[in-house]
Amino acid sequence: MSDPVLEASGLTKIFGRRSLTPLSILRGITLKAQPGQAIGLTGPSGVGKTTLLSCLSLIDLPTSGSLRLFGSSTHDLSDRARSELRREKIGFVFQNFQLLEDLPTWLNVCIGQLVGPTPLNRLREQALKLLEVVGMERQVDCAVRQLSGGEKQRLAYTRAVIGSPDLLFADEPTSNLDTTSARFLLNQIEALLESDVCVIMATHDASLLALCDHIYELRDGTLWHRNDSAGTSAICLEE
Amino acid sequence: MTKLLFLAALNLAKSPGRALALILCIGGPVFLFISAAAISAGISGEAAASIESGADIYVTRDQGGLDANIEVKYVDEFRQSMSVVEVRPRIVARIAPAPEIWAVLLGIDPLTTEDERGLQSGRFFRAHSSSEVVMGSTLANRLGLKVGSSFILSTRTMDRTLKVVGTSSKSGTLWESSVIWTSFSLAQELLGMTGLATDILIQTRDEVMANRLADHLARSDAHLRVQTKDLVRRYVSRGYAYTGGIFSAVYAVALALAIPAVLVISGFGTRERRREIALLKVTGWSTTHVLVLVTLEAWLCSLVACGLSFLTAFVWVRWLNAPLLANLFIAELEWFPVVEIPARFEISTLGLSLLVCLIVSWTGTLFSSWRTASIPAAEALQ
């Protein structure tokens, strides 16, 4: 078995630690993910799925616990090293797209790569190819605010994969999509899994969960493993 | 760097309102700075030119450390001194040829070598003429006079009808523009200064001789107040340094106000800016990259602000003659000056202005951007 791309152990996240009523969102999360694996996170709204994905993808800092990505601890990583990791090995698809609305579509795709070594014209070419794959070749120079919800989601996905990541996080990727767009995204994720990319997604979409090797439910800040996507039995990972 | 510069330009172009407000905020004080510096350099240049073309020694009577009128009899005495080329008595006085209009009465005989081509029109007055004057073109305009016109000049001692025989060039110095130039004897008559001059001008062979002669004169008569060209130079430069100091203090206040203004304007859309920075971080930008982008944006803003300020100042001062501005720096000038305002635009001023623009824009934007880029992206995205 190959080395895990992600190993989280005892992750906690407490909001408002200095306030009178601190809110403990994550309480000792332990999780391991291998290359080519799909991991699904479920749970009711507001339970902390996005927070967990943010902590795992280095977008947020956990309050305590350890996180190893690609075999290395992330605890002592400098800002620069974290940025490089995010740019070169990690992709993130947000639930509400999080795009730069005033910039053209192609630039949104390669915005992260602007600080890399590839020249601008090459980046544009790469972006065009990817946009062609997702059927958005006509919207290349459009401002993002002119795109529909489905197009924005495809664009967000394209931005996440332009760096050929080894680890992709997706937060409710199909929640704002129509059936055709959702099916399209499903196919794309399937293709990523075949090329050994590890995908961790928070979703309630049964068709996406069907792709997952492991499904966990986040409840009261802890992760519970579900043996199947129907969720008949659960094992608390903490225990 | 090219890629970041491209994005910086795009960021400014996508919110033109904010960029324009920023540019105006930075460029406003800089426009004032460039205009003031140009006018100041122009006046200082004129003063320096006047000193250089003036006499080597100025002699007056000493009255408790101040200048007082001097007897004309000294003229012959000074002429006897070694190395003296020319000695001319002069009268300089402030008069009012019309209510609320002030002018300088200059009574000095022109040198035979003096060129009439320096006049805008007409000719010099005849030696010992009792009514002919040359008038500064601005003053002549204000009084509605031209060559050949007559006017009555009232002084404390008499009313005298004078005739304008020439007007000085419009492009002459500020001082020349409001002067009434008469023969020395006529000025004496007008001011009732028989046998007196306000000062005596001595021209020597060279400056070294002038210094020696000045020492000699000061030692030989304790009632004389002797000032060399070198001394006048120092007085003038000290005067400009003092004026410059006051201006710098006022300017520092303007700058101090510009920085928070930039902060406030950059704050328009703070939430959007925070989100942008967070998204850049999410996609793999480091804090340093974000700061480089913000620096480039500030740099572009500064370049545009500085360029526009310099251009506006140039048009305002050179072409429009510094309306509403020149009288802040030159006493007793109208809001819309008729006299040509001296101005000198220097590369060093442009460089300094760019530096000021950069300081204002960086101070106003770097810290807030650094703070946003330093916190976890998830926090900034909320």
Going by C-alpha positions, the residue among A113, A59, A92 that lies closest to residue A201 is A92
Distance from A110 to chain B by nearest Cα, in Å? 9
AA letter at A65: G
User: Which member of A59, A79, A120 has the closest CB to residue B6?
Assistant: A120
CA of B277: which chain A residue's CA is closest?
A100
Distance from A138 to chain B by nearest Cα, in Å? 21
Judging contacts by C-beta atoms under 8 Å, the chain A residues touching residue B6 are 120
Contact across the interface for A111 and B10, Cβ inside 8 Å: no
User: Which member of B284, B287, B288 has the closest CB to residue A87?
Assistant: B284
pLDDT attached to residue B23: 84
- Put simply, whether A100 touches B (Cβ < 8 Å) is yes
Tokens of B244: 């410059």
Tokens of B104: 């300088």
Confidence of residue A238 (pLDDT cuts 50, 70, 90): very low
Going by C-alpha positions, the residue among B19, B281, B206 that lies closest to residue A115 is B281
Per-residue pLDDT reduced to its tens digit, B208-227: 888 888 888 888 888 889 98
Q: CA separation (Å) from B280 to B138, B205, B294? A: 62, 74, 12
- In A144-183, the residues whose Cβ lies within 8 Å of chain B are 159, 163
Contact across the interface for A59 and B7, Cβ inside 8 Å: no
Confidence of residue A197 (pLDDT cuts 50, 70, 90): very high
A203 near A209, Cβ under 8 Å?
yes
Is the CATH number of domain A1-89+167-175+201-239 3.40.50.300? yes
> Residue B368: pLDDT above 90?
no
Judging contacts by C-beta atoms under 8 Å, the chain B residues touching residue A161 are none
- Put simply, whether A236 touches B (Cβ < 8 Å) is no
How far apart are the two ends of chain A, measured CA to CA in Å? Answer: 24
Interstrand relation of A214-219 and A222-226 (parallel, antiparallel or unpaired): antiparallel
Distance from B330 to chain A by nearest Cα, in Å? 49
pLDDT attached to residue B265: 60
Domain ranges of chain B: 2-48+236-381, 70-197
Judging contacts by C-beta atoms under 8 Å, the chain B residues touching residue A84 are 284, 286
Contact across the interface for A115 and B378, Cβ inside 8 Å: no
Distance from A233 to chain B by nearest Cα, in Å? 32
What's the CA gap between B79 and B85, in Å, rounded? 8
User: Which member of B275, B284, B379 has the closest CB to residue A112?
Assistant: B284
Tokens of B175: 């001082």
Confidence of residue A123 (pLDDT cuts 50, 70, 90): very high
Written as one string, the DSSP assignment of B334-352 is: -SS--SPPP----HHHHHH
ipTM of the complex: 0.90
Higher pLDDT: B260 or B61? It is B61
What's the CA gap between A181 and A134, in Å, rounded? 10
Judging contacts by C-beta atoms under 8 Å, the chain B residues touching residue A121 are none
User: Which member of A86, A88, A114 has the closest CB to residue B282?
Assistant: A86
Please list, in sequence order, all residues whose beta carbon lies within 8 angstroms of the beta carbon of residue B341, skipping any fewer than 6 positions away: B39, B42, B174, B317, B321, B322, B326, B330
- Average predicted confidence (pLDDT) for chain B: 84
Least confident of A156-160, B51-55, B228-232: B51-55
Secondary structure (3-state) at A214: strand
Domain ranges of chain A: 1-89+167-175+201-239
pLDDT attached to residue A233: 40
Confidence of residue A227 (pLDDT cuts 50, 70, 90): low
Tokens of A205: 């979409």
Contact across the interface for A116 and B284, Cβ inside 8 Å: yes
B97 near B205, Cβ under 8 Å?
no
Contact across the interface for B377 and A59, Cβ inside 8 Å: yes
Judging contacts by C-beta atoms under 8 Å, the chain B residues touching residue A83 are 281, 284-286, 289
Share of chain B above pLDDT 70, in %: 88
Size of interface A-B (CB pairs under 8 A): 76
User: Which member of B280, B376, B377 has the closest CB to residue A111?
Assistant: B280
Long-range (24+ apart) CB contacts under 8 A made by A71-75 are: A71/A3, A71/A4
Contact across the interface for B377 and A60, Cβ inside 8 Å: yes
Torsion, Cα of A80, A81, A82, A87 (10° steps): 90
Q: Which of A79-93, A218-232, B20-34, B49-63 has the highest mean pLDDT?
A: A79-93
> Residue A145: pLDDT above 50?
yes
Distance from B262 to chain A by nearest Cα, in Å? 22
Contact across the interface for B284 and A61, Cβ inside 8 Å: no
Distance from B300 to chain A by nearest Cα, in Å? 18
Tokens of B90: 């002069």
Q: Choose the mutation target among A111, A145, A157, A162 for the interface with B, i.e. most B CBs under 10 Å.
A: A111
Secondary structure (3-state) at A7: strand
Stated pTM of the model: 0.73
User: Which member of B7, B376, B381 has the closest CB to residue A114?
Assistant: B7
CA of A99: which chain B residue's CA is closest?
B279
What's the CA gap between A115 and B284, in Å, rounded? 8
AA letter at B177: S
Mean pLDDT of B322-341: 78
Contact across the interface for B14 and A103, Cβ inside 8 Å: yes
